[in-house]
Homo-oligomer: A and B are copies of this chain.
C-alpha cells in the first residue's frame, strides 16, 4: 500500500451516523481517509484484503454482535485499533469490548473535539473514552456487585428455550440431547447467575440484556 494517510473505517448500520461521523472528521480530511460499512460482514471481508488503522465500530449491528466482531477484527488484523461506538451506556458492555481488544469506547453523543481527540489518543496506543463514557466507567457501583455472567453458546441456546417456557424434556427433544444433559446446562446456568430457579434466572438474563 502506497497510502500514507491514516485509514479509518466506520461500521454502523445507520447511514445518518456514518454521514455524521464523516462530517465531524472533515477538518482532518488531510490526514484521514475514511471508508464505511453498514454490515459487519462487509467490513470483515474488506479487512481481510486491506489495511485499516482504526475502526469505529457500532456495537449494535443487525447482522453480528459487536463483541464478536471486535474479536474477529483483532484476530484478522491485530494492529487495527478498535473503538467501540454506541448509544448504550452499559458499563458491562464497555468492559466486554475492552476485554475483546478494543482500545476505547465512544458514546454516540460525542462532540467533534472528543471524537478527534479520542482517535488521536487511540492511534498513539492509548485507551480512550468519550467524556460521558469516562463518567460511566468512573462509577464502579454496579460493576462490583452486578458482575456479568459469561455464558456459553449452548447455555445461551438453552436459556432462550427456557424463556419460551419449554421444559427440560422439550428442549432435549428440540436439540437432540439427553434430558440429563439439558438439565446439567440448566444447573450450570443457575450457578453462573447465582440464582435458585428459572424465574430468577430469566429476570437476571433480561437485566443483563441477554434476552
Contact = CB atoms under 8 A, between A and B. Distances in A.
A16 interface: yes
Interface in A1-56: 13-24
Contacts of A87: 87
A165 B195 contact: yes
Interface string A51-66: 0000000000000000
Interface string A99-120: 0000000001111100100000
Contacts of A21: 16, 19-20
B199 A165 contact: yes
Chain A interface, DSSP helix/strand/loop, else mixed: helix
A23 B20 CA distance: 7
A152 interface: no
A16 B200 CA distance: 38
Which of A17, A24, A167, A199 counts the most chain B CB atoms within 10 A? Answer: A199
A127 interface: no
Contacts of A22: 23
A65 to B, nearest CB: 17
Contacts of A109: 13-16
Contact of A19 (B13, B23, B196, B199): B23
A162 interface: yes
Contacts of A23: 19-20, 22-23
Nearest to A167: B197
A163 interface: yes
B108 A16 contact: yes
Contact of A164 (B162, B164, B200): B200
A24 B16 CA distance: 7
Interface of A: 13-24, 87, 108-112, 115, 162-165, 167, 195-203, 206, 211
8 contacts: A14-B109, A15-B24, A16-B21, A17-B20, A20-B21, A165-B195, A198-B198, A206-B206
